[in-house]
Amino acid sequence: MIRFKTRAVSLILCTVVLSILSPRYVSAQNQYWAFESIVSGFRPAGAITSERMPRACYSSGSTLRFCYRDEEGWHHELIQSTVMGGASTRSVSIDNSDRFHVVYYGYDITLMNPWIRYRYRDNQGWHMHTVDNYVFYSGAPTLCLDEGMNPHITYSAGALYYWHLGASGAETEVVDSGITFNAAIDAFYGSSIAICYENADAGELRYTVKGPLGWEYEVVDADDVSISDCRLLHDSAGNPHVVFHDETGQSLRYATKESGDWTIETVDDSGIVGQGCSLALDAFGNPHISYYDATNGDLKYAYNYGRGWQIAFIDTVGDVGKSTTIRLDEFGNVYFFYHDVTHNKIKYAYPALSMSSSIQNGSQTLSWSPVGGVNEFWFYGAENDSHFPVETVWPFNNRLYVFDSSVISYTTNTGINDPASNWTYLIIAVDDQYQEIARSDRVGEWDWGMGIP
């Protein structure tokens, strides 16, 4: 007999790196963050564009909806309506052209038809493909894009399935014929595809890669595993990183294979924690995780820069943090989408440090907002380098000055009134351990106004 388990599915967002302090749990004070309640709804899944504009899907009644913010504010669109049913998602992505992709699942009661569908949105509107019909899924489907922006989807429906869309059309294949749950998919090295999932027959957390001879799996955890959420990403070296909620211990766990062997560690076991976990990797392959603390009804954020896991409370007002997504921008700033259960709202949190610029009498004055917990401000400048890639800024390259935390403005004439130079500036706020707390957007003579986002 096929055994199906009922699993909860969730999502989140953030930007800062807090100091290594005692106790282990440190509060991410609200001055670091700006919070927005977007709209009534639940189960959000979000992403940010190349210009750091938020995009999200969410469930509302029997529909799935899309929302996005631009200079005029928030906008909302209908993606899918159902007949006395529902639709939801846990997996969205934005490609290099800022097109929004989503895989979602739902059902129509009158038609007795559970289904999985994929859509993407471009300048022409929404485009849809049906992934599977009459499918009794056992976990939310997940989506990734390869370097050609082609979609790859995995889902558990008894067995584990893989669907992809390419030049020859859509194809579906069985990855694992056992009873599986809560699969996550990722593309690495351009177009290599890997899936992490629970095989319930063996009680194992498995990682499988599609090779020339088919799917080849290895065991990540064989300790009678039972999970409710799983996320998979690869760093630039192709090393897999997995975060999952361990239902047996009701804890948040993290696995990686950076040294050639799988290592597993517990990130948080302070209560019923880890549901709705979401994973992001920064430019250096450091993990950032958002997740729900069901014991306290809080949104939490865990990160590790090689000195152990640090955990912060992002939002604690009411019952918040279900269905979280975490995203990072090119500068390492962190953003969250999540569900406010108390008010049935979709919430968005983003960096609160902002900055402005003014030019007068051949000098430019930069002013920025104070940030609690800051020990120093690091001031950077670069000529003809408007993007400030991470490797250029961190940790000391192009650094011009260091200010103590009492300084919140600076005036310079470097590069001013010199169109050939077009200098660009950036400020990083750090704590007493020289860990980044917040980062301004870049600002220069020709793009003065700025803030995050």
260 and 288 housed in the same domain: yes
- Indicate whether 239 and 330 sit together in one domain: yes
Could you tell me if residue 18 is inside a domain? no
Show which of 296, 319, 351 is a domain's final residue: 351
- The token pair at 212 is 């020339």
Task: Mark whether 36 and 149 lie in a shared domain.
Answer: yes
CB contact at 8 A, 402 and 410: no
At 240, phi and psi to the nearest 5?
Answer: -80, 145
Structural domain includes residue 13: no
At 20 the pLDDT is: 24
Whether residues 252 and 326 fall in one domain: yes
Q: Is residue 11 part of a domain?
A: no
Residues 418 and 321 occupy one common structural domain: no
Do both 141 and 201 map to the same domain?
yes
What's the confidence (pLDDT) of residue 16?
Answer: 27
Residue-range definition of the domain harbouring residue 40: 25-351
pLDDT tens string for the chain (453 positions)? 222 232 222 222 222 222 222 222 222 333 467 789 999 999 999 999 998 899 999 999 999 999 999 989 999 999 999 988 999 999 999 999 999 999 999 999 877 889 999 999 999 999 999 999 988 888 899 999 999 999 999 999 989 999 999 888 999 999 999 999 999 999 999 889 999 999 999 999 999 999 888 999 999 999 888 888 999 999 999 999 999 999 888 999 999 998 889 999 999 999 999 999 999 998 889 999 999 999 999 999 999 988 889 898 899 999 999 999 999 987 677 899 999 999 999 999 987 666 666 667 767 777 776 666 678 888 877 665 544 545 555 555 677 788 887 777 777 776 555 555 566 677 777 878 887 767 665 554 433 333 332
Q: For residue 249, is it within any domain?
A: yes
Measured distance CA(349)–CA(172) in Å, rounded: 37
**220 and 311 fall within a common domain:** yes
The total domain count for the chain is 2
Q: Decide if 234 is inside a domain.
A: yes
The pLDDT value recorded for residue 19 is 24
Same domain, yes or no, for 395 and 336? no
**Per-residue confidence (pLDDT) for residue 147, from 0 to 100:** 94
Domain match, 262 and 173 both:
yes
**Residue 151 belongs to some domain of the structure:** yes
Query: Can you give the length of the chain in residues?
Result: 453
In a domain, 14, yes or no: no
Residues 47 and 178 in one domain: yes
pLDDT at 27: 29
In a domain, 72, yes or no: yes
CATH number for the domain spanning 423: value is 2.60.40.10
- Single out the residue in 325, 351, 377 at which a domain terminates: 351
- What sign for the dihedral angle of Cα 215, 221, 224, 230? negative
Q: Are residues 161 and 251 in the same domain?
A: yes
> Which of 318, 351, 384 delimits the end of a domain?
351
Pairwise CA distance, residues 334 & 16, whole Å: 6
Question: 102 and 247, same structural domain?
Answer: yes
Half-sphere exposure of 451 (CA within 13 A, CB side): 10
Per-residue confidence (pLDDT) for residue 325, from 0 to 100? 98
Q: What is the distance between the alpha carbons of residues 157 and 182, in angstroms, rounded to a whole number?
A: 10
Residues 6+ apart with CB under 8 A from 374: 405, 429, 430, 431, 437, 438
